[in-house]
Amino acid sequence: MSNRRPNVVVFGGGTGLSVLLRGLKKFPVDITAIVTVADDGGSSGRLREELDILPPGDIRNVLAALSEVEPLVEQLFQHRFRNGNGLSGHSLGNLLLAAMSDITGNFVTGIRELSKVLNVRGRVLPASDHSVVLNAQLNDGTIVSGESKIPHTGKKIVRVYLTPDTVKPLSESLRAIKRADLILIGPGSLYTSILPSLLVPGITDEIKKSKAKKVYICNVMTQPGETDHFTAADHVNILVTHTGQQIIDTIIVNNANVPEKVLEKYKSEGGEPVQFDEERLKSFGFDVISDKIVQYNDSLIRHDAKRVSELILDLVSD
């Protein structure tokens, strides 16, 4: 292993994944991020609908996180228009992805070409080259369709699934999993960022076959409308019931207390720290690594990407 850089494949979406990747790209690893294609809200939802392309939002954020460009160029890429008929609400990066997809005739090629422009450290791949709809079955039996609607039902989620269920995984994504030395799942919204990628048929099977280390990075805070009052073991349980036991062998979980004044901000929105219920977590039979993996950024709680990256890379060097 010493003479080549380890291949790290990361699954997820949303802020959690971007934070991790900003830290991980500073280490000597080859990164492939496999990103969900179930987003149907905001600018992504409109472009998906109007242009019949994959939703670009999560892909845009990951490209920005892995890019090595001047801060101003990244700011430009992430810029969201506030007014303008038809432009309002769109981010420039989403429009660039849509344009590049149009120019190259293929969304995946479009991502690759835009990655060159942004000097991206690593590869960004969609889980599938077809848009999917994420559906949730709730505890009263009702079904909600659409990733953006799921957290707002006020009800408990029993399970999520994709339609159409015939959607095919991207062959490059499967190849990346085959070559991986390390597979990371999370951090990110459990039901709406992590599971949509893993539920694309074929992806989970490939992960299970892999000899790579498979690590789940548990969220530090619960997510209102998705994982209210969830402990670390609750997160793992949902992951395992949706995908099966062999999808992870190690869990990284935060064991540090969050300061009271930081919690105040989250309390008003219904978020709370994810409890580290060690005994129940260990009962799954996975290796459990607990550490202080949080940091605070303008009273926002984020994963300490540098610390998490160090813990992850220790696993590969083992």
The domain locations on the chain are 7-37+127-317, 40-122
Cβ 196 vs Cβ 37: under 8 Å = yes
State the average pLDDT over residues 281-295: 96
pLDDT given at position 1: 47
What is the average per-residue pLDDT within 3-17?
90
Residue 174 sits at φ, ψ, to 5 deg, of: -65, -40
Lowest-confidence pick of 1-5, 17-21, 122-126: 1-5
Q: What is the mean pLDDT of residues 5-30?
A: 94
Over residues 191-215, the mean pLDDT reads 97
Distance CA 203, CA 185 (A): 12
Facing residues of 183 across strands?
A: 9, 214
Q: How far is residue 112 from each of residues 63, 78, 122, 188, measured CA to CA in Å? A: 10, 18, 10, 24
The tokens for 88 are: 């309002």
Over residues 150-175, the pLDDT tens digits come to: 999 999 999 999 999 999 999 999 99
| Longest CA–CA separation in the chain, Å | 55
**pLDDT higher than threshold 80 for residue 318:** no
For domain 7-37+127-317, say whether CATH 3.40.50.10680 is its number: yes
DSSP state, 250? E
pLDDT for the residue numbered 254: 97
Model pLDDT, residue 298: 80
**Helices marked H in 86-213:** 92-104, 107-117, 171-179, 195-198, 203-209
Distances (CA, A) of 172 to 150, 162, 296: 29, 20, 36
Percentage above 70 pLDDT, the chain: 99
DSSP symbol at 274: P
Average pLDDT, the chain: 95
pLDDT tens for 46-76 read 999 999 999 999 999 999 999 999 999 999 9
Confidence bin at 216 (pLDDT 50/70/90): very high
Per cent of the chain over pLDDT 90 is: 90
Ramachandran class of 2: left when φ > 0, alpha when ψ lies in -120 to 50, beta otherwise: alpha
